Structure 1
Amino acid sequence: AVGKSTFERLLSKTFPEWQMATEPVSKWQQVLASNTREASSSQNVGNLLQMVYQEPSRWSYTFQTFSCMSRLKAQLEPLSEKLLKTQEPVQIFERSVYSDRYIFAKNQFEIGYLAEIEWTIYQDWHTFLLEEFGDRIALHGFLYLQATPEKCLERLRQRGRPEEKDIQLEYLEQLHTQHENWLVKKTTEVHFENLKNAPVLVLDVNSDFEDDPAEQEELIRKVKAFIKTL
C-alpha cells in the first residue's frame, strides 16, 4: 500500500511506450481448485490471498510458491510488438522474483510462518530456477518507493481490500525493515551476481503525490535520469 498502482498509472501516462507488468492479485484471489477437462463449469475457487492472511502458518509456503511462479511467468513473457519497435524499450515490473524471496518469503520465515524445512526447500528451487533462466529474468535496476509503515497502513485502510483488513502496523514495519536492509543498507545476503550491484533509485512517496502535479513532475524527473544510467 505504498502507492505502487498510483505510481504505475503515472508512469503509463507519461511513458505510454513502456511495458508495465502489474501483480496478478486477481489470480491469487481466484485459484481454481480444479483445472481438468472433466471439471464442471462451476469449479471451486480458492482465495489464496485471504487464506494466507487468515492462517499464515498453514498457507505461507503455498502462497509464496504460487506468487513466485506468477512473477517468474511475468518476467519470462516475451516483449510486446509495440515495445520491440520502441527505440529505448523499458519494462517495469511491480514486483519481481527477487522481492518475493528477499522481502516476503524471508520475512515469513523470520517471523515463524515458514518452517525451516519449507524455507530451505523454497530457496533451493528458487536458486535453481533463477540460475537456469539467467539473463532472461535479470533486472537492470530497482525503483524503491519508500514510505513509512504508518503511511502505508493509512493507504491500506483507504484501499479497503477485504483480505487485508486485519493487517497490523507491526507487519508493515517488518516489511519496511526487509526493504531497507536489502535495497538501502545492503545487509541482506543475496545469491545472484547480477543482483549484488544492481542500482537502486529511492523515491520518497510519503507525500500524497496522486493529486500533486509538482510532486509527480519531480518523481518523473528522477525516474528519467535513473533510466538513462542503466
Structure 2
Amino acid sequence: MAPVRLFLSRLRTPFISMAQKSLEGVPSSRGLLAGREPRRLSIEGNIAVGKSTFVKLLTKTYPEWHVAAEPVATWQNIQAAGTQKGQTTQSVGNLLDMMYQEPARWSYTFQTCSFMSRLKVQLEPFPEKLLQAKNPMQIFERSVYSDRLHFEALLNIPVLVLNVSDDFSEEATKQEELIRKVNTFVKNL
C-alpha cells in the first residue's frame, strides 16, 4: 500500500496579490496589518487522507491561527434560488453525495461548486483575531490551486510532506511529531 500523504504548502505569490485587491463593495482590512502580511498555507491531499483531522489538530494546537476548513456542510445542503417571482429558496440536495453516486453527471458541477466556495473563503477580509496576532497565519484546507495542482509543480514552492499512513487522530506522540514538523516548516518559510 502506498503511503498516504498530506501536503502543507505555502500558497503562491500570485494568489496573495490577487487577494490583496479590494473587491467592489467589500471593505478591505488588509491595510491594518502594516507590512505584516499573514502567511497563508494550504493543506492538500487526496480524499479521506486525514486533512480534516489534521485541521482539527492545528486548530487545537494553534488557537491564534485562522484555520478555514472545507465547507462540506454547505456542499451537502445546496440551495437554489427561486426562478419565479415570489418563489422561496429550495434545497437542491447533497451535491457531495450526488457526485459520489453519479460521478459522470455531477463531478464537474461539484468541482465548480467546491472551487467557488474555496475562492470565496480565501478572498474574505482577514478576521479580527488574525489582524491582532503577533505572527498572523492562515491555514486553508485545500487552496484554489487544488483543482489544477500537479505534484511536480510542488518542486517550485515550499512544501512539507507528512506521511499519515498511521492513524494520528488519537495518538498523542504522532500528533506531537506532526506538530514539530509543522513548526520547523513554518520557521523556515
TM-score of the alignment, normalized to the shorter chain, above 0.5: yes
- State the alpha-carbon separation in 2 of the partners of residues 224 and 64 from structure 1: 32
Q: Is 1:199–2:145 an aligned residue pair?
A: no
Q: CA RMSD in A?
A: 1.9
CA–CA distance in 2 between the matches of 1:201 and 1:219? 10
Which residues in structure 2 correspond to 1:1-230 (within 5 Å)? 1-35=48-82, 38-40=86-88, 43-102=90-149, 182-183=150-151, 186=152, 197-230=156-189
What letter matches 1:223 in structure 2? V
Residue type of the alignment partner of 1:215? K
C-alpha distance 33-226 of structure 1, shift in aligned 2 (>3 A): same
- Aligned match of 1:169: none
One-letter amino acid matched to 1:24:
P
**What per-residue deviation string (whole Å, max 9, x for no partner) do you get for residues 14-41 of structure 1?**
1100001111111111111225772236
Q: Count residues in correspondence.
A: 141
CA distance in 2, matches of 1:13, 1:221: 14
CA separation of 1:35/1:226 partners in 2, compared to 1, >3 Å: closer, same or farther? farther
Tell whether the 8 Å contact from 1:67 to 1:100 is kept in structure 2 after alignment: no
Determine which structure has the larger strand proportion and give its number: 2
User: Which runs of no fewer than 5 residues in structure 1 stay unpaired?
Assistant: 103-181
Distance 2:144 2:64 in 1: 24
Paired AA for residue 129 in structure 2: K
Matched position secondary structure for 1:16: coil
**In structure 2, C-alpha distance between the alignment counterparts of 1:71 and 1:214, rounded to whole Å:** 32
SS at match of 2:180: helix
For the Cα contact (< 8 Å) 1:19–1:91, is it kept in 2? yes
The CA deviation at 1:88 is 0.7
Asked if structure 2 preserves the Cα contact closer than 8 Å seen for 1:18 and 1:83, the reply is yes
TM-score (norm 2): 0.68
Distance change (3 Å), C-alpha of 1:5 and 1:48: same
Letter in 2 for 1:40: T
Report Cα offsets for 1:99-158 as digits up to 9, x if no partner: 1233xxxxxxxxxxxxxxxxxxxxxxxxxxxxxxxxxxxxxxxxxxxxxxxxxxxxxxxx
The answer to which of 47-56 and 218-227 deviates more is 47-56
1:196, distance to aligned residue in structure 2 (A):
6.3
- Give SS of 1:92's match: strand
- In 2, Cα distance between equivalents of 1:35 and 1:85: 41
More helix by share: 1
Say if 1:35 and 1:79 are closer, same or farther in 2 by CA, change over 3 A. farther
Q: Closer, same or farther in 2 for the Cα pair 1:202/1:196, shift >3 Å?
A: closer
Q: Distance in 1 between the 2:82 and 2:124 partners?
A: 22
